[in-house]
Chains A and B, each alone.
Chain A
């Protein structure tokens, strides 16, 4: 063989190997089935849990009724669903977050599924009202809860003991939480924080940086205006500023910007450098993985008084885009998924709570979060709040993040007022612009 033949073989061999042994293409879809495209944001074990439900459906009901669910893990699912919907080719089911429902529903991009839900026998009364209502917008039902969660206070019991605090008595008010946070904060000889009591920095949170006014019995959105300059909101921002002043703002900022990502082994709560954190039930999955010996407990996050237990609730949800080609087949699948035994399998794999009023016995028994009952009970509170159902909330959320960042940086309460005032102006502009657009559309 010539040198060039050898060279061609050398180049061609990997290609042939890839064809023979490489990844296979799409799963074979049996003939005659209606293909229902289901896009979901989950990956890893979370996606595997749903894939098991999909497989079971395809083998049983799907086989009998000629439906095939094609499950795809999609990143940036909100953007892709939106672009696909705009192009007239949306999936039949999309797995969004509850905070996107208002924005999508307001644009008439989602199917109102109330009638379909009743027709397919999904009984909303079996679900806790917190979770069932999370898919509602302006009186219509646009989403079903898939994996819900509340957000609670995780605290390090060993750190409590070391600071002379009772590990069985977490803080009961926001003022008490500040006192605990200061007691739990330790510094080295250079003044650098080695253990921080608590922080409201967005670096240590998810996307719920806007939640604090609710713990001061406040509301953000009244259906028309969104206000962060109310006495309750102001109290929440001052609460943050007061705590940071007592702990030393520059030392806290230095600690925060040095801490690792919340989703990993460097998470300062998991590594024992942060004594308390406001997080969801999935955090136990990370603790079990990275530091199973961590001595911690979970309690409802305190409110400004003990009279009201304000609770933050959120959920991943299923929606059917308005232009979905197979809404009835999609709802047939959702009816299967929403069966308690199926949905709770998924919720447990996601380390979240069950949306059902009475979870099955095995749900809590086998749950990876030993405190799941705390999260579950919190959803029963009369004072549950969710992401404001304002259609322009994604933009407002960013404006509120900027306010919080300014407050975190404020070394004087007067600067808090400046940040609130500036933020309120920005929010007013956003709301006004949205309402002007809505009026233009209405008068078209």
Chain B
């Protein structure tokens, strides 16, 4: 059907708030950022085009390798652990037991605590001499580690702190659990499935679209982790740069070292990394995610 020029104009006008916003706040800045990633740009002087120099420097930058390694290691630990913890907690608080709303609130509450407060509390908990974690370990005859001050324990410590915010995906899993028809469980019971079998053959497939969503969100968040390490290590890289992550280095390059071109190149690599991992997860999901009614 031919669309008249007037009706096209009216249509574009009606969607103008969206496309104007998209152009101004996403498409154009993305284009500029890509150009800057090909430039040497200290912000106070005009960008100087250097081609792929920033990208080739990144390839041999040992700090870049370290922060990339730290970020991937953190993500590899955090994403499966947070997914498993959130599903387990959602299943627990989905049981019809006395005090169920209270437990749901308790698990969700940490997610509404500001990150700074969370970090400060955990810094106290991780205190090697006076913190309750090491005090408890000492009572059991175990010498607790230095946690945040230890190169070996820095990333595990950050994973623990990050798991504190697992209440948010848990709520989504809880909603997903309640969407699974009870009839499927009844049928499974009739077929002789025990609780493990019902979890494996009913709960997990039923939850799979929600798992996909949460895993993608976790990938995005984990690869961009910034605020928590920034507070926990007081803007420093930590011992052996163990508390230094991709976005922290990107931020430092931009705002401390005034290397906006370099930081933009890092931003583009980060974007491609997230896109690549998300695409991989979606590709895997074609065979593993079950959509009811599809």
Residues of A that sit less than 8 Å from B by CB: 79, 82-83, 85-86, 103-104, 107-109, 192, 202, 253-258, 392, 394-395, 398, 401-402, 405-406, 409, 425-426, 429, 433, 437, 440-441, 444
Contact = CB atoms under 8 A, between A and B. Distances in A.
Most buried by B among A85, A254, A425: A254
Given A257-B146, A406-B240, A426 B63 contact: yes
Contacts of B256: 394-395, 398
21 contacts: A82-B43, A82-B44, A83-B43, A86-B44, A104-B44, A107-B42, A108-B44, A253-B149, A257-B146, A257-B148, A257-B149, A258-B130, A398-B252, A401-B236, A402-B237, A409-B151, A433-B57, A437-B42, A440-B40, A441-B40, A441-B48
B258 interface: yes
Chain B, interface SS category: loop
B165 to A, nearest CB: 24
B128 A258 contact: yes
A104 B43 CA distance: 11
Given A103-B258, A258-B130, A402-B241, 8 more contacts: A107-B45, A254-B128, A257-B127, A257-B149, A402-B237, A405-B238, A409-B240, A429-B61
Contacts of A85: 44
Given A109-B44, A257-B146, A402 B258 contact: no
Nearest to B242: A405
A85 B45 CA distance: 10
Contacts of A202: 236
B138 to A, nearest CB: 8
A15 B292 CA distance: 49
Contacts of B131: 258
Contact of B257 (A395, A402, A409): A395
B179 to A, nearest CB: 36
B186 interface: no
Contacts of B239: 405-406, 409
Interface string B16-57: 000000000000000000000000101111001010000001
Contact of A437 (B40, B238, B241): B40
Contacts of B57: 433
A410 to B, nearest CB: 11
Contacts of A440: 40, 48, 50
A402 B242 CA distance: 10
A96 to B, nearest CB: 13
A79 B127 CA distance: 32
B257 A258 contact: no
Given A257-B127, A257-B149, A107 B48 contact: no
A402 B240 contact: yes
A311 B131 CA distance: 38
**10 nearest A-B pairs in the assembled complex, by CB-CB distance:** A257-B149, A258-B129, A107-B44, A109-B44, A395-B257, A86-B43, A254-B128, A79-B255, A394-B256, A437-B40
Most buried by B among A83, A85, A109, A257: A257
A191 to B, nearest CB: 10
A248 to B, nearest CB: 14
Contacts of A109: 44
B232 to A, nearest CB: 12
B62 interface: yes
A398 B40 CA distance: 21
A108 B42 CA distance: 11
A371 B241 CA distance: 38
Contact of B129 (A79, A192, A402, A437): A192
Contact of A107 (B127, B130, B146, B258): B258
A330 B50 CA distance: 38
Contacts of A255: 129
A256 B43 CA distance: 38
Contacts of A441: 40, 45, 48
Given A82-B258, A405-B240, A256 B48 contact: no
A406 B149 CA distance: 11
A402 B255 CA distance: 19
Contacts of A444: 48
Contact of A426 (B62, B129, B252, B255): B62
Interface in B211-264: 236-241, 252, 255-258
Interface in B270-285: none
A173 to B, nearest CB: 29
A199 to B, nearest CB: 13
Given A398-B237, A398-B252, A405-B239, A253 B43 contact: no
A255 B63 CA distance: 29
A259 to B, nearest CB: 9
Choose among B40, B147, B252 the residue with the greatest number of A CB atoms under 10 Å from its CB: B40
A428 to B, nearest CB: 11
A206 to B, nearest CB: 12
Contacts of B147: 257
A16 B285 CA distance: 54
A440 B48 CA distance: 8
A254 B45 contact: no
Contacts of B237: 398, 401-402, 405
A143 B228 CA distance: 36
Contacts of A257: 127-128, 146-149
